[in-house]
Amino acid sequence: MTPSSTFSLSNVSKVYSNGTVALQDLNLAVNDGQFVSLLGPSGCGKSTVLRIVAGLGHMSSGQLSWSHQANRRMAFVFQEAALMPWATVQNNVRLPLKLSGMGKAASNAAVAEALEMVDLTGFESSYPRELSGGMKMRVSIARALVTKPEVLLMDEPFGALDEMTRSKLNSDLLNLWQQKQWTVVFVTHNIYEAVYLSNRVIVMAARPGRVVADVPIDAPYPRTEDFRTSAMFNHYCRDISARLSQAASHHLQDNASSVRSPNVVDSLV
């Protein structure tokens, strides 16, 4: 844990009650203002990490430490927009403030500001069924931003969107991040998205879930469309893709050798 760390996870392991080792000995320190992606195949423990950071799940062993203040202002964005279908856009976004006891009049300005940030001014009275997938996700992001978080935890927020919508939301999110200087932890299994957005990509592998690489993306912001087609972008994507394949093939080799091992064979007989 360095002075500029927002939080750090030290030697974190998580075993679910059915025996699944979701995380083993994971170490990760995230610094103030960083945009960090957790990248890895389905089942490698990305959501488990995010839930532990959010305080939504317990770890089996290890430690989570926060700097500055014990309880940082945090917001969580899930893959599903999870909006209340019976409520307007405005009232969906208002929900966290309402739950914290804030009255309607007091929350109006914050709701308007959050909607403006995600470019949804004018849709206050719409219902979720009237919105496209991308707009629903914008509402979900506004609902997270309305609490004025310092730390934004996002679990595959754009995974269900088409490529063009995802790309637009990626650049809008980056613009906002540059203005607001949040610390972002962004979960994805999309290499291109991770490289485009992040100043650091944490590559994870499964069974057990662990960090296999911590790759700084040293490209300046703002990142334009030119960055997506640059040689540098391509280089990062290939490097990370190779690390993912390497981690997956080690896993297969480990399995193959353990099946051939005499001890294992003996124990099977």
Residues that bind Mg ion (CB under 5 A): 47
- Per DSSP, the three-state class of 75 is strand
Other Cβ atoms less than 10 A from the Cβ of 39: the count is: 26
Whichever of 93 and 187 has its CB closer to Mg ion, that residue is: 187
Q: Whole-angstrom Cα distance, residue 94 to residue 125?
A: 12
Residues 182-211 close enough to bind ligand ADP by CB under 6 A:
209
Residue 100 in the binding site for ligand ADP (CB under 6 A) = no
> In sequence order, what are the residues at sequence separation of 6 or more whose Cβ sits closer than 8 angstroms to the Cβ of residue 6?
30, 31, 32, 34, 66, 67, 72, 150, 151, 183
Q: Which region, judged by CB under 6 A, interacts with ligand ADP, from 12-20, 69-77, 98-106, 163-171?
A: 12-20
Answer for the pair 215, 251: CB distance below 8 angstroms, yes or no.
Answer: no
Identify the residue among 20, 79, 167, 190 touching ligand ADP (CB under 6 A): 20
Answer for the pair 185, 50: CB distance below 8 angstroms, yes or no.
Answer: yes
Q: Which does 45 bind (CB under 5 to 8 A by kind): ligand ADP, Mg ion, none?
A: ligand ADP
Q: How far is the CB of 42 from ligand ADP (least distance, A)?
A: 4
Q: How far is the CB of 231 from ligand ADP (least distance, A)?
A: 30
Q: How far is the CB of 65 from Mg ion (least distance, A)?
A: 24
Q: Whole-angstrom Cα distance, residue 40 to residue 203?
A: 6
Residue 86 in the binding site for ligand ADP (CB under 6 A) = no
Identify the residue among 28, 44, 110, 247 touching ligand ADP (CB under 6 A): 44
Through-space distance between the first and last CA atoms of the chain, rounded to whole angstroms: 48
Answer for the pair 40, 28: CB distance below 8 angstroms, yes or no.
Answer: no
> In sequence order, what are the residues at sequence separation of 6 or more whose Cβ sits closer than 8 angstroms to the Cβ of residue 164?
none
Whichever of 47 and 183 has its CB closer to Mg ion, that residue is: 47
Closest CA to 176 of 26, 39, 65, 75: 75
Residue 16 in the binding site for ligand ADP (CB under 6 A) = yes
Identify the residue among 24, 34, 45, 192 touching ligand ADP (CB under 6 A): 45
Whichever of 77 and 111 has its CB closer to ligand ADP, that residue is: 77
Q: Which region, judged by CB under 6 A, interacts with ligand ADP, from 45-53, 75-83, 221-229, 255-263?
A: 45-53
- Looking at the chain, how many residues does it have? 269
Residue 46 in the binding site for ligand ADP (CB under 6 A) = yes
Q: Whole-angstrom Cα distance, residue 213 to residue 186?
A: 16
Where along the sequence are the contacts to ligand ADP (CB under 6 A)? 16, 18, 20, 22, 40, 42-48, 209
